[in-house]
Amino acid sequence: MKRLLNVHEAPIIIFTIAVFLLFSVISPDFFQLDNIKLILDQNISMFIVAIGMTMVILLGGMDLSVGSVLAVTATSVGLFLGQGIHPWIAALMGIGIGVLCGMVNGYFIAVRKIPDIIVTLATMYIFRGIAVGISGGTWMTNFPEGFRFFGQGQLLGISFPLLIAVVLIAVFVYLLKFTRSGRKIYAIGGNGSAAKLAGISAAKSKFMVYVLTGLLVGIASVIFASKVGSVQASTAGNSLSFEVMAAVLIGGGSIFGGVGTVAGTMLGVLFMGIIKNGLIISKVSPFWVDATTGFLIILAIVINTLQRIRQNKGKEGDLI
């Protein structure tokens, strides 16, 4: 039992089970197979984006621009489809645009050494403006039949987007745990100067992480556009960055970098998804959902700080 509690993800697992039980008691509609499928289905994009955000936060950074990158990518995929381009090629081009956005972020952060928060705050507005500009302010709808496969299709009896998400999660769990570039990310986030002395290039890793995040957001946005069936550039993914950030922090990631796992983040996304779904099913005013997201972010940082204090106890004298 004690060993179980010492697992890094223990608090989030307990929280998730607690809210799950709570909503099951409050609303009879919650604990249904269809509803659980719905929770997974609605949060697919968030699962995929959260993988990228986990790596960014592991480096001690932060990416506020993911929502806007999602808007740019989804809008341009819509435009490509409108031009009659084949859905698969349009999707690939969209993912390419996601990578490009990631490279812009990576260039300013890794090469020009401007703080993450400022760069992504600026690109958040820049990408959003570009998205609205290229969409002309109208809704993107009427996607061709073939495009629906990405968000709603079935492969081997399993939902195609879910399959993609599972594969991506598996790949990135492996990358972060067992490969050299993955361990470098932990090293840089954990102790930047030690990593530098060990000959690790922080700039290279940072650039790579932001490009990978762009790639993941690109994939997520194709699934998002296909699933929702319409894209509005000015609102698509509006609060995505904040929600994903909250999920990473709730999932045990440390804002100071170096601590966190993809598995924990996935539980964090699930936790957020359950709360949002549960609030709506229990017929709470939808206005409360945003307020709750903000509250969860603050809760996450409180837990984060408490964990840090507990871990540091005995290791160093109290600073104050």
State the residue for tokens 């001690």: 60
CA distance 59 to 109: 12
Q: Which one of the spans 83-91, 176-184, 190-198, 302-310 is the region binding other proteins (CB under 8 A)?
A: 302-310
* CA–CA gap between residue 238 and residue 44 (Å, rounded): 16
Question: Does residue number 190 form part of the binding site for other proteins (CB under 8 A)?
Answer: no
* Sequence-ordered alpha helix ranges (H) in the chain: 2-5, 10-26, 33-42, 44-58, 66-82, 87-106, 116-135, 149-152, 160-178, 180-190, 192-197, 202-228, 240-250, 262-281, 287-312
Q: Quick check: 132 binds other proteins (CB under 8 A)?
A: yes
Q: Give the DSSP letter of residue 140.
A: E
Q: Does residue 136 interact with other proteins by CB under 8 A?
A: no
Would you tell me the crossing angle of helices 66-82 and 116-135 to the nearest 10 degrees? Answer: 20
Answer yes or no: are the C-beta atoms of 100 and 250 closer than 8 Å: no
* Chain CA centroid to CA 305, Å: 21
Pick from 88, 18, 306, 59: which is nearest to 184 by CA?
59
133 binds other proteins (CB under 8 A): yes
The answer to the question of residue 167 lying near other proteins (CB under 8 A) is no
Pick between residue 36 and residue 289 the one whose CB is nearest to other proteins. Answer: 289
Separation of CA 313 from chain center: 31
Which one of 139-147, 172-180, 187-195, 280-288 is the stretch in contact with other proteins (CB under 8 A)? 280-288
Q: Which is nearer to other proteins, 223 or 244 (CB)?
A: 244
The only residue of 16, 45, 54, 123 in contact with other proteins, by rule CB under 8 A: 123
Instruction: Build a one-symbol-per-residue string for 234-273: x at contacts with other proteins by CB under 8 A, - elsewhere.
Output: x----x--x--xx--x-----xx-----------------
Are 183 and 55 contacting, i.e. CB atoms less than 8 angstroms apart?
no
H helix or E strand, kind and range, residue 154: strand 154-155
Residue 121 in contact with other proteins, rule: CB under 8 A: yes
Q: Which residue reads 């819509």 in tokens?
A: 78
Asked if 139 is part of the footprint of other proteins (rule: CB under 8 A), the reply reads no
Q: Which is nearer to other proteins, 91 or 104 (CB)?
A: 104
- Of 1-60, which residues contact other proteins (CB under 8 A)? none
Q: How far is the CB of 32 from other proteins (least distance, A)?
A: 27
Q: Smallest gap, in angstroms, from Cβ of residue 288 to other proteins?
A: 6
With vertex at residue 11, the alpha carbon angle to CA 273 and CA 51, rounded to the nearest 5 degrees, is: 50
Exactly one of 21, 290, 311, 312 binds other proteins (CB under 8 A); that residue is 290
Min CB(312)–other proteins separation in Å: 12
Provide the binding-site residues for other proteins, judged by CB under 8 A.
62, 108, 112, 114-115, 117-119, 121-126, 128-130, 132-133, 234, 239, 242, 245-246, 249, 255-256, 285, 287-298, 300-302, 304-305, 319-320
